[in-house]
Amino acid sequence: MPASDSSELNKSNRRSKKTSTEVAARLMNVMQGHKDSVSVSPQAKTELIQILSFLDDFSDELEDTIDLFAPNPYFRMTLHLIRGHFEAKIVTPTSLIAASRVPYATANRRLKEMVEEGLIEQRPRTSSGKSFSLHPSEALLDQWVQLSGRIRRLGEAQFATEETRETKDYFFGGSYMAAQSIPPLQVLGEPIKAAGGVRVLVHGDPTFMVMDTLKRQFEHVIGTQINQRAFSIDRLREEAMRNAQRKSSRYDIIAVDLPWIGGFAENGVLMPLDEAMDIARLDPADFHTAGWKAAHWGGRCYGVPAQTTPELLFYRKDLFAEAGIEPPTTTRQLLKAAEIFHDPRRDRYGIAWNAARGTALGHTVLMTMADFGQPIIDLPRIAGGFETDDLAERAYHATIDTEAGLHAAEFLMDLMRFSPPDILSMSWYERVRPYAAGRIAMAYGYTLLAPYFELDESSPACGNTGYLPHPAGPDASPVAPVGGYIMGIPANLPKERVRAAVEALIVFTSPEAQKLFVQNGSRTNPRYSVGADPEVRRTSDIFEAIDTMSWRDELQFWPRPPVPEICDIIQICGEEFHDMLRGIVSPRDALRQAQARADAVIQKNGPK
């Protein structure tokens, strides 16, 4: 690091007290030559960890090769402490002493010296204060990052050859994906202060359950307890609405299904994020466009995408190869493939989908209409889909009883012929379980359900599943309807808790956290950077498939526009179309009745 840069930083640190995270961020950017930047580069974080590993391995070599070379307890404990900080692992006095590789008494003295010198901070782990964790101080992080920068430059100066210098640019381009590897989640430089811990309300799906499994690690990262409650989708909405009626919110953060955004914004359930934080801290450009836009209402952001999980067509690649047919890209091809694989006598069926009465089938109706090129309300057509930006300011009406709506209804009737006998009771999980068991050749499903077969080596679908957007009807384009959840802050959260909620929200939705979710079984991802991470891509083909769909503009959230009436419209469609599938009413009657009921709901809410 140039002397002028180092002097400037040291003076700045003496003038104002900074958290260890802020200092590390500033220093990592100085190390890369961006003196004025305050954002943390993922590549810089990765480089720090790589240098840390190099020093650890090099020390092992020295100690194993030269008998008279004794371990340096200060250095060994620093390596362990810094690694724990960057990998968000708890470091205790016992573990730090063990890492020193010297006798206990010696290590204990060196540890006390490092604490007295202000290199190590102690943070209570319990209310009694008898147990505490150890963390690198601002001063130690400052010194370590400067050392890392010097080591990198020394290595380049001493070992770089003409060949490596000439191919440096080519190597960077060729290994771009590896250079963008996201480092492990880091402990916050300053613990979050929230009485009773951070309280979170979520949906009980695989991704949020991964977060619950990693609860202790996240508590270590944010420095306080996490209290998480999980509900089914309908109960989650009820609890969020009930919470909004309370004088003070019981939750600091709540998970919100994307279609609820408009209603929650209009009814004051969620706080606009620009009232609580600088939106730029979230790095909005890193989120999949559809997922980020879906978090907005009336031009304001009401939450951070925590799951972007499009509904795709899962299909058995091995079965299609054996049958000698191509994966379907149109509704006609889909029906033909379903017919080929449908063999009830052998307990094998062509396709599974959401057909249970109410919310489950209602979602299917909206997405099937999108497959035939029509949204559920009259949205203006634009390049690549339909416009949703001005929904908060304009009038709209339902578009169910239409020619495209009839095509969608008839398509669902055709799907019935190649579906399992219990299809009319199948919902979110029930449609994927028989697919994972090998009884179904194809299934519509959200990516968050993929762990049911991707992580089960006994499943015939494990390693044999392909992922496609919804096959399209005549004159329509393939669409991957975006689902998932944002995490937002309740509007009635007491002011003294807002700052803690913001900091926790940033951690839970960060690239580092999202990568950790994937590594522990999640198959949802709201960020481009996470989908591009080489370790993430190795976990599943699903991430490359989603990124490809995103770049082709196939990820769309207009199939379920987030208007305040959308939950009622979904319920209406789920009821009327269920009667149609049961043979109680004709497709045209189902369309007419759903249209009339939807019009009444929108009219009741009054002009927009």
Domain residue limits, the chain:
3-179, 198-308+483-535, 309-482+556-605
Mean pLDDT (whole number) for 382-403: 89
Residue 543 identity: F
| Angle of the 403-416 helix axis to the 587-605 helix axis, nearest 10 | 130
Convert the pLDDT of each residue in 438-453 to its tens digit.
Answer: 999 999 999 999 999 9
Q: Note the pLDDT of residue 12.
A: 36
Convert the pLDDT of each residue in 468-498 to its tens digit.
Answer: 999 999 989 999 999 999 999 999 999 999 9
Residue 593 has pLDDT above 80, yes or no: yes
Mean pLDDT (whole number) for 149-176: 52
With a CB cutoff of 8 Å and minimum separation 6, the contacts of 534 are 177, 178, 180, 181
Mean pLDDT (whole number) for 299-312: 94
The mean predicted confidence, pLDDT, of the chain is 85
Domain 309-482+556-605 sits in CATH 3.40.50.300: no
* Burial call 341-366: b when 16+ CB within 10 Å, e when fewer: bbeeeeebbbbbbbbbbbbbbbbbbb
Convert the pLDDT of each residue in 196-252 to its tens digit.
Answer: 999 999 998 888 999 889 999 999 999 999 999 999 988 999 999 999 999 999 999
Q: Note the pLDDT of residue 154.
A: 72
What is the Cβ-side half-sphere exposure of residue 62, based on CA atoms within 13 angstroms? 12
Residue 581 identity: L
With a CB cutoff of 8 Å and minimum separation 6, the contacts of 289 are 550, 555
129 pLDDT band (50/70/90 cuts)?
Answer: low
* Residue 372 DSSP code: T
The top-scoring range by mean pLDDT among 169-173, 286-290, 403-407 is 403-407
Least confident of 118-122, 185-189, 320-324, 602-606: 602-606
Residue 23 has pLDDT above 60, yes or no: no
Residue 386 has pLDDT above 60, yes or no: yes
Residue 353 identity: W
Residue 537 has pLDDT above 80, yes or no: yes
147 pLDDT band (50/70/90 cuts)?
Answer: confident
Second-level CATH architecture of 3-179: Orthogonal Bundle (1.10)
Q: Is the pTM of this model over 0.75?
A: no
Residue 283 has pLDDT above 50, yes or no: yes
Domain 198-308+483-535 sits in CATH 3.40.190.10: yes
* Burial call 113-139: b when 16+ CB within 10 Å, e when fewer: ebeeeebbbeeebeeeeeeebbbbbbb
Same fold yes or no, 198-308+483-535 and 309-482+556-605:
yes
- Specify whether the CB–CB gap between 428 and 498 falls below 8 A: no
With a CB cutoff of 8 Å and minimum separation 6, the contacts of 266 are 297, 392, 564
Q: Note the pLDDT of residue 176.
A: 34
Question: Could you tell me which of 549, 572, 387 has the C-alpha nearest to residue 469?
Answer: 549
Q: Note the pLDDT of residue 63.
A: 72
160 vs 598, more confident:
598
